[in-house]
Amino acid sequence: MFVSDILSQKGSEIFSVGPRSSVAEIAWQISDRRVGSLLVLDVDGSVAGIVSERDLVRALATHGREALVLEARQIMTREVVTCDPDDSIDEIMQIMTNGRFRHLPVVRRGELLGLVSIGDVVKARLEEARHETEALKAYIVAG
Ligand code: AMP
């Protein structure tokens, strides 16, 4: 299974904020959209960074209630690791594990195609395992 298979199931919708969006706005969007992270996009649509629940917690722990008025650009991770639609599920699991993050934007030739989360990866893995089990059962019954 490949990243493109995940995207064809979940679609290419990407939730994002601008670099000057406040932490309060980010928290509201993460909660409202039931996601764990948001991409930070510049006005030209290029990826400026990523903010996740972890960044919100870190900002709160460091700045207390003042954190709510900080802007995305002050708390985001700027070096965003991305993946390609042709990457395998195993490859992106490795990337997430090594990088200790749970979200990967999907980019091909500079074009943003979607975002996969660890939840999507686990779901794809479970589906794969279910298919394998069914194929094995069919093989045994046929034999
Ligand atoms: P997460 O586990 O995705 O909630 O993120 C943990 C930390 O890694 C946060 O500081 C995020 O900003 C950062 N992060 C999340 N996804 C990525 C990514 N694809 N590339 C680089 N950093 C990331």
Q: Residue 86: which CATH number?
A: 3.10.580.10
Structural contact between residues 27 and 34, judged by C-beta atoms closer than 8 angstroms:
no
User: Which residues 6+ apart lie within 8 Å of 91 measured at CB?
Assistant: 83
Tens digit of pLDDT for each residue in 104-123? 999 999 999 999 999 999 99
Q: Mutate which of 23, 38, 50, 51 to test ligand 1's pocket (most atoms within 8 Å of Cβ)?
A: 50
Choose between 76 and 128: higher pLDDT: 76
Give the total number of structural domains in the chain. 1
Residue ranges making up the domain that contains 118: 3-142
| Ligand 1 centre distance from Cα of residue 134 (Å) | 35
Give the span between the Cα atoms of 84 and 1, in whole angstroms. 13
Q: Mutate which of 70, 103, 112 to test ligand 1's pocket (most atoms within 8 Å of Cβ)?
A: 103
| Ligand 1 centre distance from Cα of residue 3 (Å) | 18
| Ligand 1 centre distance from Cα of residue 136 (Å) | 38
- Kindly state the tokens that stand for 19: 């670099």
Using CB distances shorter than 6 Å, the residues near ligand 1 are 36-37, 50-55, 77, 80-81, 101-104
pTM: 0.92
Tens digit of pLDDT for each residue in 32-87? 999 999 999 999 999 999 999 999 999 999 999 999 999 999 999 999 999 999 99
